[in-house]
Structure 1
Amino acid sequence: MPQVSRSYSVAMLVTLVAAARSSPLLDLRFGDDRPLDMAGWQAVERALPVLAPLAAAELRYCSPTPCARQTGDVLGLAPLAQPALRDCDMGRWSGHTLREVTAREPAAVDAWYSDPRSAPHGGEPLVSFVARVGNWLDTRPMGADGWVVAVAEAAVIRAAMLYVLKAPPQAYWRTEVHPLSVVSISGVTGRWNLRLG
């Protein structure tokens, strides 16, 4: 019987960690570029015993924001900033809360929620944001151990989950990621699986 040769891609594990908070929930701002607040520092320090093993990954990244960098540093990751892991570009809404923007531009906010291809803020549409994060996943170099860790804003992790599950863009609004949540993605380029637990 002839032998059949099969080539398999080596699976990779990408562990995504949501950055600790940089502000209270009611003061969350689009494009928030603030460092960790006191509660954020304390939360990372409390989580350190559980999350410290992530520093064993050969490849460690973070979004370019101060809160993601600081979260990674406290966890002992010494992460390399990745521009592709930045939060969604919210254009002229950057620096403002959802409440402020809704008071000024209610129709634009409605359009943003209802049409994932729209960018009424002049920034990046949701579908482009999800595609950017997905492209980052698909182009990750694999270290010897096949494990990549990245710290990023909750929005980036939500976009990654949408990409992996091939979920409709509207599912983005139905996904919650809390500070210091951990989500793992395994597989190979184009064939990812969400791993919980």
Structure 2
Amino acid sequence: MQVRVSLIAAARSGSLLAERFDDDRPLDQSGWHEVQLAAPALLPLGVAELRYCSPTPRSRATGDALGFAPLAQPALRDCDMGRWRGLTLGDVTASEPAAVDAWLRDPRSAPHGGESLLAFISRIGGWLDTRPVGDGSRILAVAEPSVVRAALVYALKAPPSTYWNIDVRPLSTVTLTGHGGRWNLRIAAEGEGAAAIGSGGP
């Protein structure tokens, strides 16, 4: 038996250039508009028996706008960025260039005083591995793009540095199938909608 986990990246809360670490801003007008445009493709995912979301305003709002009424999961929170929380990468690079370089090079480093990339990926992987397994179990989670990236790195057993090479756009979706540390990235066949759109494969 295996479980099917569909991950939807939350809609935007600002431009990509203005994106902040551990961002807790609500959806902006563009985000709301994008949810409405994407709804026809995403609504079928609501048939999942269990529906979750990251505990951020934009993840909750994205799930609610799609009618999923998701349950917030603390384990799906964004990476704890310590004193960098609320700052942009540009802000931090200007004030702590050496710390940013160490953070990008070493997945075990946490110069901001928060959570290392490796710890973040492991936390998201732990959530995946503890999902209830049943014949045909379907789970949906609306999560921060960073959470989706971490889930993909963990599921594919890729090096942590792969995290920086995965581009997860707002409202993009991926589907993972498996259980307990054995996961596959499922790519949708034509006609299956957005349920398993992703990059790469097992």
- Cα distance in 2 between the residues matched to 1:79 and 1:175: 25
What is the aligned partner in structure 2 of residue 116 from structure 1? 107
For residues 132 and 100 of structure 1, do their structure 2 counterparts lie closer, same or farther at Cα, with a shift above 3 Å needed? same
What is the aligned partner in structure 1 of residue 194 from structure 2? none
Aligned-residue identity in percent: 64
Q: Which structure 2 residues correspond to residues 38-117 of structure 1 after superposition, within 5 A?
A: 38-117=29-108
- Cα distance in 2 between the residues matched to 1:27 and 1:153: 15
- Cα distance in 1 between the residues matched to 2:37 and 2:141: 19
What is the aligned partner in structure 1 of residue 119 from structure 2? 128
TM-score (norm 2): 0.91
What is the Cα deviation at residue 142 of structure 1? Answer: 4.0
What is the Cα deviation at residue 80 of structure 1? Answer: 0.2
- Cα distance in 1 between the residues matched to 2:63 and 2:136: 19
Where structure 1 has 5 or more consecutive residues not aligned to the other structure, the ranges are 1-9
> Please, which of 134, 144, 150 is the counterpart of residue 159 of structure 1?
150
For residues 16 and 48 of structure 1, do their structure 2 counterparts lie closer, same or farther at Cα, with a shift above 3 Å needed? same
What is the aligned partner in structure 1 of residue 181 from structure 2? 190
What is the aligned partner in structure 2 of residue 37 from structure 1? 28
What is the Cα deviation at residue 144 of structure 1? Answer: 7.0
Q: Is the 8 A contact 1:61 1:151 kept in 2?
A: yes
SS at match of 2:177: strand
- Cα distance in 1 between the residues matched to 2:117 and 2:181: 20
What is the Cα deviation at residue 76 of structure 1? Answer: 1.1
Q: Is the 8 A contact 1:117 1:127 kept in 2?
A: yes
What is the Cα deviation at residue 25 of structure 1? Answer: 1.1
Amino acid at match of 1:116: P
Where structure 2 has 5 or more consecutive residues not aligned to the other structure, the ranges are 189-202
What is the Cα deviation at residue 75 of structure 1? Answer: 1.1
Amino acid at match of 1:33: D
- Cα distance in 2 between the residues matched to 1:32 and 1:20: 12
- Cα distance in 1 between the residues matched to 2:135 and 2:32: 32
The structure number with the bigger radius of gyration is 1
What is the Cα deviation at residue 93 of structure 1? Answer: 0.3
Amino acid at match of 1:97: T
What is the Cα deviation at residue 56 of structure 1? Answer: 0.9
Q: Is the 8 A contact 1:22 1:40 kept in 2?
A: yes
- Cα distance in 1 between the residues matched to 2:24 and 2:76: 14
Answering whether residue 141 of structure 2 is matched by residue 150 of structure 1, we say yes
SS at match of 2:185: strand
Q: What is the aligned length?
A: 188
What is the aligned partner in structure 1 of residue 166 from structure 2? 175
- Cα distance in 2 between the residues matched to 1:143 and 1:179: 30
- Cα distance in 1 between the residues matched to 2:113 and 2:155: 27
